[in-house]
Amino acid sequence: MREPFIYKGTIPRIVFGVGTISMVAEELHYLDRRKALVLSTPFQEKDAQRLAEQLGSACAGLFNGAMMHTPVDVTIEALRVFSDKGADCVISLGGGSTIGLGKAIAYRTDAPQLVIATTYAGSEVTPILGQTENGIKTTVRDASILPETVIYDPELTYDLPVNMTVTSGLNAMAHAVEGLYAQDRNPVSSMMAMEGIAALHEALPAIVGDPRNPAARTDALYGSWLCGVVLGAVGMALHHKICHTLGGSFDLPHSETHAILLPHTVAYTEAAVPHLLEPVAALLGTDRAAPGLYDFALGIGAPTRLQDFGLAAEDLDKATDIAMRNPYWNPRPLEATAIREMLQMAWEGARPA
């Protein structure tokens, strides 16, 4: 019998397709905005510069100092530029780091955000902001944080390096996988989750073989949008908690950590709810989702060992302790010994059963 559910749509306006970068001015007009501050990382400064030229007088200025984990001092600097230039909205061109900065500005000013998403992390469709101050990362959820408009132009992802494509794609799949067993899942979020996983499952191997393949890049971006919506719509569980712990306390890189841990956190949880992960196992052609996800990740060249990203063997006990504190709800309750064993497997890169 169908389970009871609550559904609340929180999707920004989505403009999707090859060449849609040319629609930025039109979309600013739709938002009734005239002076955009364009945000980027130093790495994507040239793309931001091109966009500024395209916008002409609708561009108030550029700020290219976006950084991973949204440091508050960078936000303060960007807010000063936002105010000095008389900007009335932000355009975030990039991945989760740049989008985080745009969200941090919007949270403090209520400025509308237009995002041009260039990775698969999914932040552009969530009302969640993680920011760091004095080495501590905190997360806030607020309606002002959800961007108003997102442009997905697959052409902007053709040069996303293959290793980042793989880990970012697995990061997206992790949102959808956790969405399937979320406590507040609903038929729409589960449908989006499976569609997103399937799109990425098909697209990622094709991109590894041909990184500028337009169809595969389009499918991957489509899948990442759906996975991002799931992340914003329902609660995440053990996998996101552990990744948050390892990123925040041991400075492990975001998408690589997601990519390595996904098969292991799924193995842990699948033991309690195999039926909820059965569609993933079926898609992967395995009895269980966890080993299928491991084989898939390995096959597309994803990293598999936490030890390769600066986590020392002696950190595993501490990581277990932190993960056990204030745990997110998980279908299988957290047991310290089993979590420690799971982390050991991910540290070694072993294949989960």
Taking phi over 0 as left and psi of -120 to 50 as alpha, with beta for the rest, 114 belongs to beta
Q: Is the Cα dihedral 23, 27, 30, 36 positive or negative?
A: negative
Query: In whole angstroms, how close is the CB of 33 to ligand NAD at the nearest point?
Result: 23
Query: In whole angstroms, how close is the CB of 118 to ligand NAD at the nearest point?
Result: 3
Give every CB contact of residue 182 below 8 A, 6+ residues apart in sequence: 189, 234, 235, 236, 237
Query: In whole angstroms, how close is the CB of 106 to ligand NAD at the nearest point?
Result: 12
Name the nearest CA neighbour of 253 among 67, 68, 80: 68
CB nearer ligand NAD, residue 95 or residue 179: 95
Which residues of this chain interact with ligand NAD, rule CB under 6 A? 41, 43-44, 68-69, 94-98, 100, 118-119, 121-123, 126, 128-130, 156-157, 159-160, 164, 168, 231, 254-255
CB nearer ligand NAD, residue 146 or residue 316: 146
Query: In whole angstroms, how close is the CB of 275 to ligand NAD at the nearest point?
Result: 28
CB nearer ligand NAD, residue 58 or residue 74: 74
Name the nearest CA neighbour of 93 among 160, 159, 47, 143: 47
Q: Is 93 in contact with 47 (CB distance < 8 Å)?
A: yes
Query: In whole angstroms, how close is the CB of 282 to ligand NAD at the nearest point?
Result: 27
**Rounded distance between C-alpha atoms, residue 122 and residue 229, angstroms:** 7
Q: What is the CA radius of gyration of the chain?
A: 20
Q: Is 31 in contact with 149 (CB distance < 8 Å)?
A: yes
CB nearer ligand NAD, residue 59 or residue 99: 99
CB nearer ligand NAD, residue 42 or residue 86: 42
